[in-house]
Structure formats: C-alpha cells, structure tokens
C-alpha cells in the first residue's frame, strides 16, 4: 500500500514504517497521522507480521507536530475536533512497536517515540519537549508519558526549559532501552523486532498487555492480572511447544495458537 508521508513495507515478519517528509524534518501533520495509523492497523491485521518498527531519517525521527499546520488553529477548533486524539488509535496496536530514533525527536516526535513499546536510539538522537518555546506545552502525551519514563524532576526540567537530552542521558534516565551507533540503528531495531516476531504471537501480545496494565493498575491488581493471564497461557499450543522444545533441547516451532 502506498502512503503520502510514510513508507510502509514488510521485511520478513516485521512491518517497517519510515516517516518520509524529509524537507520538514518529518514534522507530524494530519496526513502523517492518517498514514501512520492506517499502516499500523494494516500490519496489526496482517497474520504474516509479528512486530513493527517506526523510524525516521538520519537527521530527524520527527521534529514535532507540524507547527505551520497548527499555528492558526482557534481554541474552539482544537476543542471540537479534540486535536491530537487521533494518535490514541496508533497506541491501540496489539503487536509490539519499536521506535528507532536517530537525530531530532522533539515535541510530537518525542511523544510518538514514547507511544511505541520501547525506544532504540542512535548515538545521534536528541529528545526534547520544546513546546514551551512556542508558547504552549506538550499535547500528544509528553507531560504524562515522559514523567512516567524519567520521573518528575527530569520531566519538569525538559518540559519547562525545553532543553534537549542526548542519547546517553536518555538511556541513563530510562527513556530509551539501548543506544546503538547511528549507522546500525535500523538493522538493530529490525533484529529486535525479528526476534520478537519469531516468538508466539499470543504470548507476545499478552506480555505487552500485562506490562502496559502496570500503568493503570495498583500493584495488587496488576499482580493478579498477570497471574490470571499467565494461567490462561496453559491453553496455548505454543506453551506446550515452547516447554517441550526446552526439555527436548531443540528450537521451538511456534504456530501462534
């Protein structure tokens, strides 16, 4: 399927989405939102795909929401259309989504990366929530997700000063899972996605859901949820196969059942 602002392709069992507005440093306009949501939904529905990777260019993952598109918007327009609510659709992907970030991930770019399940950063990556410099604040989840990733003090620092964080600081702060050389970024992210895609899909989706539930549940509720989902896994053929393969010292052949 061809899109206007992204390239979406299947490589083996991985759906790769590459933001493709190079002249605007991949600024996220309404067409990018429509395209990325459509591509993520298509990959989610594709039985041949087990995980996704979202990436940008060497210079910019995305330099934020498109300032030129939104600058003239009125309050009533923003309110009535519930501006940015469409990004919630992207976070509904059930299959794992990895953000592979090189260069600028600013404002909505940083927020898009944080909507993914984890972030692999190039050593060139720069994360920031510079909305305050534009007379506004984050609006695609930055004040909430960044705080959960890096804690209140650092989130306040980033959101109130608009300063950027480099890849080393982002890894130290827990924003990114690992840092790799820029030249290897997409390959490393694809390797991680391929690894996930080779596991049992129902087990992967259940594990993703359980980790995400830790955000909205108390510890007691979360532990109970985890146990119940874990119990249900004994109904999977893949649980029988995975454990038999271990006992028989062979590679498991998961069938996603």
List active site positions: 65, 108, 111, 131
Q: Is residue 130 part of the contact set for ligand LXKY6Z5U (CB under 6 A)?
A: yes
**Nearest of 25, 17, 23 to residue 1 by alpha carbon:** 17
| 8 Å CB contact between 52 and 93 | yes
Q: Is residue 196 part of the contact set for ligand LXKY6Z5U (CB under 6 A)?
A: no
Distance CA 130, CA 147 (A): 15
Q: Is residue 67 part of the contact set for ligand LXKY6Z5U (CB under 6 A)?
A: yes
> Whole-number minimum distance, CB 175 to ligand LXKY6Z5U, in Å?
16
| 8 Å CB contact between 101 and 125 | yes
Closer to ligand LXKY6Z5U by CB, 86 or 252: give it.
86
> Whole-number minimum distance, CB 203 to ligand LXKY6Z5U, in Å?
34
**Residue 245 vs residues 93, 198, 205, 231: alpha-carbon distances, Å:** 30, 14, 21, 20
Question: Of 2-31, which residues contact ligand LXKY6Z5U (CB under 6 A)?
Answer: 24-25, 27
Q: Is residue 108 part of the contact set for ligand LXKY6Z5U (CB under 6 A)?
A: yes
Q: Is residue 202 part of the contact set for ligand LXKY6Z5U (CB under 6 A)?
A: no
Q: Binding residue for ligand LXKY6Z5U (CB under 6 A) from 138, 201, 208, 236? A: 138
- Sign of the C-alpha dihedral computed for residues 241, 242, 243 and 247 taken in this order: positive
**Residue 240 vs residues 50, 236, 249, 251: alpha-carbon distances, Å:** 20, 7, 14, 13
Q: Which residues pair with 127 in a beta bridge?
A: 105, 165
Q: Binding residue for ligand LXKY6Z5U (CB under 6 A) from 50, 56, 64, 96? A: 64
Q: Is residue 114 part of the contact set for ligand LXKY6Z5U (CB under 6 A)?
A: no
| 8 Å CB contact between 115 and 87 | yes
The residues of the shown chain that bind ligand LXKY6Z5U, judged by CB under 6 A, are 24-25, 27, 63-68, 104, 106-108, 111, 130-131, 134, 138-140, 142
């Amino acid at each position: 399927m061809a899109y206007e602002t992204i390239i979406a392709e299947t490589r083996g069992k991985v759906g790769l989405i590459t933001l493709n507005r190079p002249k605007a440093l991949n600024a996220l306009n309404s067409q990018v939102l429509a395209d990325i949501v459509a591509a993520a939904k298509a990959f989610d529905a594709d039985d041949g795909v087990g995980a996704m990777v979202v990436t940008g260019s060497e210079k910019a993952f995305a330099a934020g929401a498109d300032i030129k598109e939104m600058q003239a918007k009125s309050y009533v327009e923003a309110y009535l259309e519930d501006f940015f609510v469409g990004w919630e659709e992207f976070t509904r992907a059930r299959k794992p989504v990895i953000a592979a970030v090189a260069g600028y991930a600013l404002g909505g770019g940083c927020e898009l990366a944080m909507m993914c399940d984890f972030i692999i950063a190039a050593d060139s990556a720069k994360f920031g929530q510079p909305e305050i410099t534009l007379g506004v604040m984050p609006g695609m989840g930055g004040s909430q997700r960044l705080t959960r990733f890096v804690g209140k003090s650092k989130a306040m620092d980033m959101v109130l000063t608009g300063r950027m964080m480099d890849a080393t600081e982002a890894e130290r702060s827990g924003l990114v899972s690992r840092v790799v050389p820029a030249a290897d970024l997409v390959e490393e992210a694809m390797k991680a996605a391929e690894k996930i895609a080779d596991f049992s899909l129902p087990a992967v989706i259940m594990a993703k859901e359980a980790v995400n539930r830790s955000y909205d549940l108390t510890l007691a509720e979360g532990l109970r949820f985890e146990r119940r989902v874990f119990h249900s896994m004994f109904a999977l053929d893949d649980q029988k196969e995975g454990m038999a393969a271990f006992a028989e010292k062979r590679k498991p052949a998961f069938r996603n059942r």
